[in-house]
Structure 1
Amino acid sequence: MAVYYYLGKNFKGEILRGIYESQEETEIVELLKKKGFYPIAVRKHPFYSFLYILGDIPFDKKYEELAFFCRQMAGMLQVGMPVVDCLSLLCNQFSRASLVKTLKKVIKDLNRGFTLSEAFKNQPAIFPDILVYAVETGEISGRLEEILKKLAVYFETIAKYRQRYKSSLVYPAFLGLVSLAVYYFLSNTLMPLYTDMFEQAGIHLPLPTRIFIAVAANFNKLALLMIFVFISILGLRHWLMQDPKIAYKVDKFILNLPILGLLIKHNNTANFCKILAILLSSGIPLIKAIELAQKNMSNAVFKRDLQLAKENMEKGEALVNSLRSSAFPTFMLRMLQLGIESGKLEEMLFKIADFYDEEISTLQQRILALIEPLAILFMSIVIGFAVISAVLPMFRLYTVF
């Protein structure tokens, strides 16, 4: 996926501009034509592409804000407030300037005659496809408030998982900072004294101490190098994952990893069930719901499986049969079959999602239990090496004198 900047104009002279994430430029051109605009410019936007690379790091508040937005919007619509007034009030509820600016663009589009879903579709950097199509269906069916509440629950769940990931990194990050503080203190106080003393005595410093001093002397350069390597890895990953074949192989390998693979499998399964349940309960046809769910999968294996399932369903195959050769767990497929047979597919999908949410929580606790001792071990090695580097010269001086 690449991020494109587009600029279009209609016969009234109105201008439509924005950014859109797409695989091909032609998709954006078609989108503009459907809206009655002819394209003036469509080009890749490198700045937003870079932000999308950094967006792989799950430390943003996008889903928390979307959950809050949907819940507040549903509440205000329920009491009969006009959509434009709802959005105007919500502009004052957010501190992020880019989000406020986006909401103002949505209000502007509504005043120009766009529907709410069309206005959301013009801002793909903020509003995902699931929200756009669910809102579109809600506008047609008159169940917009109900759909927004379900979307709020969905985004809250995603935000909750991301918060857990962040929380699991707090303790290791704290230990890392303590290790760096100890390292910095020793390298700037004790080690310079040792260097002077040993030079005056004509004695060589022990090897661990020399290594410690060399690292300390080049600490700033090493830190910059690590940051550069980290950003380069993110950029390389983003570039490689543009190729569907490479993305599929990488994601398939990750799915086969012991704990992480199971976590990703459960996460995609729960996400699929939630999205499908929300879209089906909103009145979106099954095949279209599968297509939208496929776009929201984070793993290329699940994306391909759902694409194949959609193609098979278009040929007349049943939902469960089209998913049998997929990466989805057998338990989920059996429960889906029961839901179809009982005529309560949406309800069953929500139950399956709840089950896998519990499984994800258990796996996250196991990962956290594994991270903590590893972080302690890392800190022990770093501080232990620093202490040895500081103590060894004292013993050498003692043996010499």
Structure 2
Amino acid sequence: MARFRYRAYQADGRVVSDFVVAGSEADAVRDLMTLGLTPFEVTEAGSASAGKSVSGGGKQPPRVLAGFCRNLASMLEGGLPLDEALKLLADDPEDKRVARLASNLRASVLSGRSLAEAMSELRAPPADYVIGLIRAGEEGGSTVPVLHRLANSIDNELRLAEAVRGALIYPVILLLTALVSIGIILLVVAPALEPVLESAGSNTPAAAAWLMGASHGLRDSWPVLTIGPLAIWLLAMSWSRTPAGRRSLSALVLQLPAVGPLVRDMESARCLSSLSALLENGVSLVPAMEIAGQGARNPLVRRSIDRITGEVRVGVRLSDAMMEDGFLPMAAAQLAAVGERSGDMATQLAQAATILETRSSRRIATLTTLAGPVMTLALGVLIGGIVLTLLSAIMSVNDLAL
């Protein structure tokens, strides 16, 4: 028995592609026709895997994928065939990464594969939900809207990620500045004042004595204090790449007071947007949920989507399954209920994704506004307290001399 990849017409004229196991190519064609399909391309899966080894490139950054989808959608919208549009993108000298991606995809498309199949055969393919959306668009005859929607979705994710990075820049600079200032005080200023404080003998203030002890400890154990955090960070990074580490880290992040709701909203918005696009292009609910769940980066969000999918598969309504699970935001379940009543689930889920994205943007703006002043105040109090301790110690020594 061999495994064959096929593309075939359904009774309604739509194109489907999948795999079938049969003894020969003729048996595969006969089995497909028995299922009511009209195959027009049947190839052994081994030949497809061979194409996979030559379709190359490392993992494409989201910005490259967004630019590729937007440019390709514009060319297809202008009436160009897929292979010609990919050729124009491959010949673009200004963006070499998009050109390399288009060139790899064009080689597979010219061999008879669809765009979704060509993407899935890359050495480092995009996320499953991206391939699922493109496959749904090709089968539903709406490739251009799907590509535009993918580009906009990736751009939204990039904007949120850039907002988070921008929110962290100022606090990180403040923290590094504070650490350098404290290091200078403990390693330079405190040792220079140590002879003056020692002259006070037992009358040295307790805070000054503690500060000198901290200075001695830092000078004596700086190798451990330098290598130790680095070793802990490397161990933590290795542990976070394991399945148990990812689950534990995801659970910790979701439990943080301000960050947890933000991450849950962002992940939920991504899944709901993908699910809406798949439903809009004719994919049934359960397969669409399976594809959308694979796009969640957080394992706990993916597990929640899987639980909801299992409930829907046995006949539970989507809104009831969401409310019973309780992990996704309530807005998603409420708008899913509206979609079930109106018969327009795709639009309502897209609205839910928009609401969650807007709420995430507001939370990021709030965190950005508060993070700087709070850290400035905290670090100012810390450094000011150290400086006041040194000054009070010097003043006490001068009082004793009088």
Please give the TM-score of this superposition, normalised by the length of structure 2: 0.72
SS of 1:241's equivalent in the other structure is helix
Q: Which residue of 2 aligns with 1:380?
A: 380
Q: CA deviation at 1:236?
A: 1.9
1:8-43 deviation line (CA, Å, top 9, x unaligned)? xx9xxxxxxxxxxxxxxxxxxxxxx8454679xx9x
1:160-202 deviations in Å (ceiling 9; x for gaps): 111111111112112113213423444565345335x459969
Q: 1:84 aligns with which of 68, 77, 86?
A: 86
2:231 aligned with 1:232, yes or no? no
Q: What code does the residue aligned with 1:212 have?
A: S
Over 3 Å counting, the alpha-carbon distance change for 1:238 and 1:370 in structure 2 is: farther
C-alpha contact (below 8 Å) 2:49/2:121 kept by paired residues: no
Matches within 5 A, 1:251-330: 251=250, 255=254, 257-326=256-325, 327-330=327-330
How far apart are 1:252 and its partner, in Å? 5.5
Aligned to 2:179: 180
Kindly provide the amino acid, as one letter, of the partner of residue 85 in structure 1: K
Q: CA deviation at 1:89?
A: 4.0
Note if contact 1:272-1:297 (Cα within 8 Å) is conserved in structure 2: yes
Q: Deviations over 1:227-249 (max 9, x none)?
A: 33223223223325368xxx2x7
Question: How far is the alpha carbon of 1:274 from its aligned partner?
Answer: 0.6
Write the letter of the residue equivalent to 2:322: L
Residue aligning to 2:38: none
Aligned to 1:340: 340
| The 10-residue stretch of structure 1 (179-188 or 294-303) with the greater mean CA deviation from structure 2 | 179-188
**Who is 2:391 aligned against?**
391
| 8 Å contact kept, 1:69–1:90 | no
Aligned length: 345
Q: Shift in Å at residue 68 of structure 1?
A: 2.3
1:359 matched to 2:359? The reply is yes
Q: What corresponds to 2:18 in structure 1?
A: none
When residues 38 and 93 of structure 1 are mapped into structure 2, their CA distance, relative to the original with a 3 A threshold, is: closer
Identical pairs, percent: 18
Q: CA deviation at 1:135?
A: 1.7
Structure 1 residue matching 2:73: 3-state secondary structure: helix
Deviations 1:249-274 (A, max 9, x none): 76566545543332233223322221
Contact 2:127 2:294 (C-alpha < 8 Å) held by counterparts: no
Deviation, 1:370, is 4.4
- Given that 1:323 and 1:333 are in contact with CA atoms closer than 8 Å, whether structure 2 keeps it comes out as yes
AA of the residue aligned to 2:173:
F
Q: 1:219 to 1:397 in 2, by over 3 A?
A: same
Measure the CA separation in 2 of the matches of 1:213 and 1:384: 20
Mapped to 1, the partners of 2:99 and 2:227 lie a distance apart of 34
Q: Counterpart amino acid of 1:170?
A: I
Quickly say closer, same or farther: Cα 1:209–1:388, change in 2 above 3 A: farther
Q: Contact 1:332/1:352 (CA < 8 Å) preserved in 2?
A: yes
Aligned partners of 2:185, 2:99: CA distance in 1, in Å? 47
- 1:133, distance to aligned residue in structure 2 (A): 1.7
Larger mean CA deviation between 307-316 and 106-115 belongs to 106-115
Distance 2:143 2:49 in 1: 31
Q: Tell me, in whole angstroms, the C-alpha distance in 1 between the residues paired with 2:176 and 2:260.
A: 29
Separation (CA, whole Å) in 2 of partners of 1:369 and 1:317:
43
Q: How does 1:2-401 map to 2 (within 5 A)?
A: 34=45, 36=47, 62-81=61-80, 82-89=84-91, 92-94=94-96, 104-123=103-122, 125=124, 127-186=126-185, 189-195=188-194, 197-198=195-196, 206-215=209-218, 218-219=221-222, 221-239=224-242, 241=244, 247=247, 251=250, 255=254, 257-326=256-325, 327-388=327-388, 390-392=390-392, 394-395=394-395, 397-399=397-399, 401=401
Report the counterpart of residue 16 of structure 1 in structure 2.
none
Task: Rate the CA distance shift 1:132–1:372 in 2: closer, same or farther, 3 A.
Answer: same
Counterpart secondary structure, 1:325: helix
Unpaired segments of 5 or more residues in structure 1?
Answer: 1-9, 11-32, 43-47, 52-60
Bigger radius of gyration among the two: 2
Quote the Cα distance in structure 2 between the aligned partners of 1:67 and 1:37. Answer: 26
- Superposed CA RMSD in Å reads 3.7
**CA 1:307–1:85: 2 relative to 1, 3 Å:** same
Distance 1:258 1:242, change over 3 A: closer
Distance 1:343 1:337 in 2: 10
TM-score, reference length from structure 1: 0.72
Cα distance 1:107–1:385, how it changes in 2: closer, same or farther (>3 A)? farther
Q: Distance in 1 between matches of 2:62 and 2:104?
A: 20
Deviation at 1:390, TM superposition (A): 4.3
Q: Deviations over 1:332-384 (max 9, x none)?
A: 22321222322322221221111122222232234334433441244124422
Contact 1:271 1:353 in 2 (8 A): yes
Given the superposition, is the C-alpha separation of residues 152 and 379 from structure 1 closer, same or farther in structure 2, using an over 3 Å criterion?
Answer: same
Q: Distance in 2 between matches of 1:330 and 1:176?
A: 37
Against the structure 1 CA distance between its residues 38 and 130, is the aligned structure 2 distance closer, same or farther, given a 3 Å change threshold? closer
In the alignment, structure 2 segments of 5+ residues that lack a partner are: 5-43
Asked if structure 2 preserves the Cα contact closer than 8 Å seen for 1:67 and 1:155, the reply is yes
Q: Is the 8 A contact 1:73 1:86 kept in 2?
A: no
CA gap of 1:139–1:379, structure 2 versus 1, over 3 A, is same
Decide whether the 8 Å contact of 1:168 with 1:368 is kept in 2. Answer: yes
Q: Which amino acid aligns with 2:95?
A: Q
